[in-house]
Amino acid sequence: MLIHLLKLCLPEVHLILELSGGLNLIFKRWATKKTAGSTKNGRDSNPKYLGVKKFGGEKVEPGNIIVRQRGTRFHPGNYVGMGKDHTLFCIKEGHVRFERNKLTGRKWIHVDPVAGHVLHPVYADGSATTADTMSLH
């Protein structure tokens, strides 16, 4: 009798009762596609090998890369050049020295030359006056 009332009032329930044999009134639908976890994984970028290549006190030759970086985390100091990708490299043979400014916190990298600092010929002779140096320019 109850089933007959459900058939008259709700045609959807009638279909559900016939399909399920009258045991339960809820039709459950399961996922038809498995999750594709293994195919979604495995896409990673190639390593960029950034960081300090020559540390403080190490001997360097012209052209040696001292730091590979993104942006200017380290700034070039004496005898250090900077490439277009902010790579710092050695210009003259010597030893690497790191320096940090106490006020600004900016980090500088210098190369102390093996032969010492070479002065411009104008400044090498101590007897040259300022008038002589101005006439050379």
In single-letter form, the type of residue at position 21 comes to: G
Q: Enter the pTM of the model.
A: 0.60
CATH number at residue 65: 2.40.50.100
CA dihedral 106, 119, 64, 46 (to 10 degrees): 30
Q: Could you tell me if residue 44 is inside a domain?
A: no
CA–CA separation, 111 and 119 (whole Å): 15
Shared domain for 103 and 57, answered yes or no, is yes
Q: What angle do CA 60, 61, 66 make, to 5 degrees?
A: 50
- Number of structural domains, the chain? 2
Using the predicted structure, report yes or no on whether residue 119 has a pLDDT greater than 90: no
In tens, the pLDDT along 10-53 reads: 555 454 545 556 555 676 777 776 666 677 778 889 999 999 99
In tens, the pLDDT along 105-115 reads: 999 999 999 98
CA–CA separation, 98 and 64 (whole Å): 16
Q: Could you tell me if residue 82 is inside a domain?
A: yes
Burial of 118 from C-beta contacts in 10 A (0-12 / 13-18 / 19+): exposed
Using the predicted structure, report yes or no on whether residue 101 has a pLDDT greater than 90: yes
Q: Could you tell me if residue 22 is inside a domain?
A: yes
Range of the domain at 18: 1-26
Q: For the residues of 11-24, what is the DSSP string, one character each?
A: HHHHHHHHHHTTS-
Which residue, among 98, 92, 107, 108, has the nearest Cα to 60 in the 3D structure? 92
Q: Dihedral of CA 9/11/12/14: which sign?
A: positive
Shared domain for 20 and 57, answered yes or no, is no
Shared domain for 22 and 73, answered yes or no, is no
